[in-house]
């Protein structure tokens, strides 16, 4: 098996959907595997000129690649079917390519009702936290026990390990800053957003070839903690960069890229390729800054920022992207 992994290096919304969609178009992959999260995720994808936002369904379906919702995920069945219908009404064949690991967990109406009461974390209110809690308390409901999901259930072990020709693209959700272990606890999601999340979905560590870390040229965060500092430029970036939640529509708080946090997530994920998305947004506002523990660094232009990032993050291949549909 060969596996490539796509992870978020910041707080979600870095543009993982775009990267996964583009990699999946290569024709090289036999499978795309979503390894964490549920319908809290919103992956924005531009396919053949149309905009799609996926929540549960891996980006492989756009190219007829077997697409698996892995055991690290939690599923809202009603929303999954809505998503299938939505994609099919736009001509994407989902049913022939979508698979669900029997040991993935299910989000129930009780989980949703409980999460709806959250005020402390600023969750997406999609029942994620309670569903993972029940999984780890060993009282959860598995996908294999839900008759509605029966047509999609796959034996993940034989699917991925039956022969040596499997080339799998692992699609992460959320990002390092929201990871249950490495994020800013308790302002985190309840799943493993690092490459470790892919490994625990049945991907052997020695099958991993490339780890694509996705970041933005600035940072955004959605949730209850204060993240944005007082500079009015951040509302400008929010507007020019359309920084509103793909799942909840909430305005995202904006701040400059924190280089030390980024380096930590690159190191812990073993990132080999970094994509910096939305570099065009900083070009539009004509301001390029980075946060360090010693204060802000102010760059004169994009070229200065980009050579600083290349120097700081040497060892990984770096792509600076200025387009919503290609890296
Ligand atoms: P939960 O995952 O719904 O429990 O939310 C926990 C935290 O993660 C909140 O701050 C959410 O806004 C954030 N979050 C969850 N999923 C995403 C995502 O896909 N993009 C950005 N933030 C997310
Ligand atoms: Mg998103």
Asked if residue 326 is part of any domain, the answer here is no
Task: Please give the Cα distance from 301 to 287 (Å, whole number).
Answer: 7
- Pairing state of beta strands 253-258 and 218-221? antiparallel
In 3D, which of 153, 196, 157 has the Cα closest to residue 1? 157
Task: Please give the Cα distance from 257 to 272 (Å, whole number).
Answer: 19
Evaluate if residue 316 carries a pLDDT over 90: yes
| Total domains present in the chain | 1
Read off the CATH number of the domain in which 74 is found. 3.40.440.10
Task: Please give the Cα distance from 82 to 311 (Å, whole number).
Answer: 45
Tell me the ligand closest to 246's alpha carbon. 2
In this prediction, residue 324 has a pLDDT band, given cuts at 50, 70 and 90, of confident
The percentage of the chain sitting over the pLDDT mark of 70, rounded to a whole number, equals: 100
Do 135 and 105 touch, CB atoms closer than 8 A? yes
Catalytic residue positions, numbered: 13, 43
Interval 192-240: pLDDT, tens: 999 999 999 999 999 999 999 999 999 999 999 999 999 999 999 999 9
| Beta carbons within 10 angstroms of residue 85's beta carbon | 11
Tell me the ligand closest to 16's alpha carbon. 2
Q: Tell how far the Cα of 239 is from the centroid of ligand 2, in angstroms.
A: 16
- For residue 281, the enclosing domain spans 2-320
Report the pLDDT averaged over residues 41-53.
93
Asked if residue 325 is part of any domain, the answer here is no
Strand partners, 251: 244
In this prediction, residue 264 has a pLDDT band, given cuts at 50, 70 and 90, of very high
Asked if residue 327 is part of any domain, the answer here is no
Report the pLDDT averaged over residues 29-37.
98
Which mutation among 14, 175, 179, 189 tests ligand 1's pocket best, with the greatest number of atoms within 8 A of CB?
189
Residue ranges with strand state E in 217-325: 218-221, 253-258, 273-277, 288-292, 295-299, 317-320
Interval 142-189: pLDDT, tens: 999 999 999 999 999 999 998 889 999 999 999 999 999 999 999 999
């Amino acid at each position: 098996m060969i596996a490539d992994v796509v992870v978020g290096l910041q707080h979600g919304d870095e543009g993982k959907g775009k990267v996964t969609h583009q990699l999946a178009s290569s024709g090289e992959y036999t499978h795309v595997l979503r390894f964490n999260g549920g319908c809290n995720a919103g992956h924005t994808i531009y396919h053949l000129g149309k905009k799609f936002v996926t929540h549960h369904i891996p980006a492989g379906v756009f190219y007829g690649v077997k697409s698996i919702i892995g055991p690290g995920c939690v599923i809202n069945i009603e929303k999954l079917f809505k998503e299938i219908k939505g994609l099919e009404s736009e001509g994407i064949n989902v049913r022939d390519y979508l698979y669900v690991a029997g040991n993935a967990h299910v989000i129930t109406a009780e989980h949703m009702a409980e999460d709806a009461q959250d005020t402390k974390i600023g969750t997406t209110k999609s029942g994620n936290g309670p569903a993972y809690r029940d999984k780890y308390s060993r009282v959860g409901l598995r996908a294999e026990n839900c008759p509605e999901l029966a047509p999609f259930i796959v034996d993940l072990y034989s699917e991925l390990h039956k022969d040596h020709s499997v080339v799998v693209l692992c699609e992460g959700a959320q990002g390092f800053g929201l990871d249950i272990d490495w994020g800013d606890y308790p302002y985190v999601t309840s799943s493993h957003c690092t490459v470790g999340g892919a490994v625990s979905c049945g991907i052997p560590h020695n099958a991993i070839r490339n780890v694509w870390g996705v970041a933005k040229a600035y940072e955004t965060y959605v949730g209850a903690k204060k993240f944005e500092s007082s500079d009015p430029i951040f509302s400008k970036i929010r507007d020019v960069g359309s920084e509103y939640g793909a799942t909840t529509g909430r305005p995202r708080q904006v701040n400059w890229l924190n280089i030390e946090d980024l380096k930590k997530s690159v190191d812990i994920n073993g990132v080999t390729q970094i994509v910096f998305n939305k570099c065009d947004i900083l070009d539009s506002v004509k301001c390029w800054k980075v946060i360090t523990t010693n204060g802000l660094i102010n760059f004169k232009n994009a070229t200065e920022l980009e050579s600083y990032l290349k120097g700081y993050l040497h060892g990984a291949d770096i792509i600076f992207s200025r387009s919503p549909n290609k890296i």
